[in-house]
Structure 1
Amino acid sequence: MKGENAASPTRDEPAQRTAPNGDLAAAALTADEFALFAQVGRMRRAYAGEVLFRRGDLGTTMYVVSKGAVELDFGDDLIAKRLGPNEFFGELGLLIGDHARSADATVPVDGMLIELRAEEFQRLVDREPGLVSYFLRRAIMRVVLNEQGLIRRLRRRNHDLQSALDSLRATAAQLNQTEALIRTDELTGLFNRRGLAKHLQDRHRNGSTHGLGLLLIDCDRFKAVNDDHGHLAGDRVLQAVAHILRSVAGNGDIACRLGGDEFALLVKADSRDDVMRYADFIVSTAHGLLQMPHTTPLICTLSLGACLVAPDTQWNDWYAHADAALYRAKRLGGNRVEWQDDALAATA
């Protein structure tokens, strides 16, 4: 083959041997190449468990498997390769010199290897330049194919990671939406009891229960609205109350439908006057809506119980104070606000 043009393969040039997955990077030496490499290179024994080199090691030696096998582990979840007889590896260390190895090379079973260093490879070039030229072309092809395969795997992994992140974001959004629905009253859009309880837990955890007032709101004669005009009319009344509470609630205030026709409003307040301004606005707004002409009720008159929140107490204590005031307002005929504090509670 001496003097042949490597770009024009002859009948002695090997057919490409591919791995089971069709990867040309697993090309082996032809019989002629192997014979020549065996003549020039150094034959050595390889023992099971032997480490030929580690990833990152600098190397200048190329290897050919004569007998047995060698395993290449590229790490980082990349597919490992098992090389058998006539297959070669480490050629970049030979061609480039002090090339950082890209894999761990280990020997799984006893075998034989051919080692070629720069001086041996130069003798190959001198003896069979055409054959060596063809070998180099295949070796370069193998490097290119390996790099392309790595790029494809990395792109696929990035795509899989992006898909996983998108799925996690979608799941988180669904969970947030579900959590919001669980804490929200479906009819009015206000917090329900569960939402209020979570808000109170957060406030207690953050130590932010100072400077608060509580209003409990109840619709007067709401049962009569349902009985006389139907539940759709009753629903519209409840939604009207929710609109009033939503309009008066400021940043950090919490409006809630506790259930039925009972509502709660937790507001920022440092004094009784602060709380009563909210309460008076709610009662007067409901009264104003009642003056509007309508065939079915737009709203009911409202009874309110009000109190300041003691920061060292719990929701049940606040509720008991405001509920006592609400009961008094209902007993006095409704359409009014009643106040409850510790002094009144002591005389009740």
Structure 2
Amino acid sequence: MKVDAVGSVAPCDLSSSKPVTPRDPAAAELTPAEYALFASVARVRRMYTGETLFRRGDLGTTMFVISSGAVELDFGEDLIAKRLGPREFFGELGLLIGDHARSADAVATSDGELLELRHEEFQLLVERDSTHVSYFLRRAIMRVVLNEQGLIRRLRRRNQDLESALDSLRATAHQLNQTEVLIRTDELTGLYNRRGLSLHLQERRRSGTLSGLALLLVDCDRFKQVNDEHGHLVGDRVLQGVANILRSVVGPGDLACRLGGDEFCLLVKAGDRDEVMRYADFVVATAHGLLQVPQSPPLICTLSLGACLLAPDADWNDWYARADAALYRAKRLGGSRVEWQDASLAPA
């Protein structure tokens, strides 16, 4: 025997006194000398195409060497399967550790023969040629280490890919949320728009929560005059001022909406007329109070409101018609006031 550079013993070929050429530590193939040694003690077993030799998770104590044919090892979890051929071995951890849970499904992909080595046969190998067995064990252990390291690297790469995919999904979800906000929201005031109001009403109807609500239509008095005298930028600031008043009124589950132009609405929870009128009077009084503060150009205007309770069995067109009838009366009576519309009254 010859001592190698690191002080370990290199095995000799059984048919020659020459040392065996060092092999790739990760190789699963036995040298001819190793194969001959293993074959001298192993049991021979036939295998047939499609036969499952063991399943992932099965406990095993047997190592296999392929004499002829091929075997595929499927590790699952989207990992790359391995295809083994003649003189390659697998299942060695079951032999070395005992009752080791198999890490792959082993399936024969062609007819052939296997060598089976249990603990008893392996002990015979140690007694017959400990040098070759020692060299094989070092290779087998190194192969396991390298395979596990490779598996860890693949899992890390897969985790990185998953994290990248999750980041992309989060970004896409954020963009969708932003798009949903834009679809539902009025750009100038930040309140809901007509589409947002329609979607909100659909959601409430599906959930059966339309009862106990009131609708307040809000219209700016003499808003065209503001635009004509001060320009549209001032008109936009007035609309934003109205939106701020309405925003201060709504609570959880309520909704403030700009229907278009200088027309707004409030959808609020209210049990009766008196409760609705408290909301409406606050809006009118707040706008009127802000106008008492000297401001040029104006940042607010007086507001007219029409109010009604929602009948859950009706629809938006009916609710709007009744609230609009009340709003029309408020405008006709000079504005800066609230008018109420009962369900029993026909719209004006």
- Residue equivalent to 2:80: 79
| Residue 14, structure 1, aligned to residue 21, structure 2 | yes
CA distance in 1, matches of 2:36, 2:283: 100
- Residue equivalent to 1:122: 123
Question: Relative to structure 1, is the Cα distance of residues 68 and 286 closer, same or farther in structure 2, using a 3 angstrom cutoff?
Answer: same
CA distance in 1, matches of 2:147, 2:90: 12
Alignment of 1:245-324 (within 5 A): 245-324=246-325
Question: 2:214, 2:270 within 8 Å by CA — same for their partners in 1?
Answer: yes
Question: 2:44, 2:115 within 8 Å by CA — same for their partners in 1?
Answer: yes
Match of 1:71, SS state, is strand
Range with greater deviation from structure 2 (163-172 or 289-298): 163-172
Question: 2:74, 2:105 within 8 Å by CA — same for their partners in 1?
Answer: yes
Question: Relative to structure 1, is the Cα distance of residues 318 and 88 closer, same or farther in structure 2, using a 3 angstrom cutoff?
Answer: same
Question: 2:2, 2:9 within 8 Å by CA — same for their partners in 1?
Answer: no
Cα deviation 1:96-138 (Å, max 9, x = unaligned): 3343332222222233333333333222212211111111111
| Residue 131, structure 1, aligned to residue 138, structure 2 | no
TM-score by length of 2: 0.89
- Residue equivalent to 1:333: 334
Question: 1:3, 1:130 within 8 Å by CA — same for their partners in 2?
Answer: no
RMSD: 2.5
The one-letter code of the counterpart of 2:23 is Q
Alignment of 1:175-254 (within 5 A): 175-254=176-255
Cα deviation 1:16-35 (Å, max 9, x = unaligned): 24xxxxxx533321222122
CA distance in 1, matches of 2:3, 2:39: 21
Question: 2:58, 2:102 within 8 Å by CA — same for their partners in 1?
Answer: yes
CA distance in 2, matches of 1:199, 1:193: 10
Cα deviation 1:175-213 (Å, max 9, x = unaligned): 122211211111111111111112212222222222222
Shift of 1:216: 0.8
Question: Relative to structure 1, is the Cα distance of residues 114 and 252 closer, same or farther in structure 2, using a 3 angstrom cutoff?
Answer: closer
Question: Relative to structure 1, is the Cα distance of residues 30 and 311 closer, same or farther in structure 2, using a 3 angstrom cutoff?
Answer: same
Shift of 1:87: 1.3
CA distance in 1, matches of 2:268, 2:52: 72
Match of 1:310, SS state, is coil
Question: Relative to structure 1, is the Cα distance of residues 49 and 247 closer, same or farther in structure 2, using a 3 angstrom cutoff?
Answer: closer
- Residue equivalent to 1:70: 71
Q: Structure 1: 5+ residue runs without aligned partners? A: 18-23
Question: Relative to structure 1, is the Cα distance of residues 279 and 98 closer, same or farther in structure 2, using a 3 angstrom cutoff?
Answer: closer
Match of 2:9, SS state, is coil
Shift of 1:2: 10
Range with greater deviation from structure 2 (121-130 or 190-199): 121-130
Cα deviation 1:141-171 (Å, max 9, x = unaligned): 1122222222233333333333333332332
CA distance in 1, matches of 2:287, 2:58: 82
Question: Relative to structure 1, is the Cα distance of residues 14 and 62 closer, same or farther in structure 2, using a 3 angstrom cutoff?
Answer: farther
- Residue equivalent to 1:21: none
CA distance in 2, matches of 1:165, 1:152: 20
Shift of 1:139: 0.8
TM-score by length of 1: 0.89
Question: 2:303, 2:336 within 8 Å by CA — same for their partners in 1?
Answer: yes
Task: Give the length in aligned residue pairs.
Answer: 341
Alignment of 1:15-34 (within 5 A): 15-17=22-24, 24-34=25-35
The one-letter code of the counterpart of 1:335 is S
Question: 1:6, 1:130 within 8 Å by CA — same for their partners in 2?
Answer: no
The one-letter code of the counterpart of 1:137 is R
The one-letter code of the counterpart of 2:19 is D
Match of 1:26, SS state, is coil
The one-letter code of the counterpart of 1:170 is A
CA distance in 1, matches of 2:304, 2:229: 21
CA distance in 2, matches of 1:149, 1:85: 23
- Residue equivalent to 2:100: 99
Question: 1:218, 1:262 within 8 Å by CA — same for their partners in 2?
Answer: yes
- Residue equivalent to 2:15: none
CA distance in 1, matches of 2:186, 2:302: 22
- Residue equivalent to 2:14: none
CA distance in 2, matches of 1:50, 1:245: 74
Match of 1:316, SS state, is helix
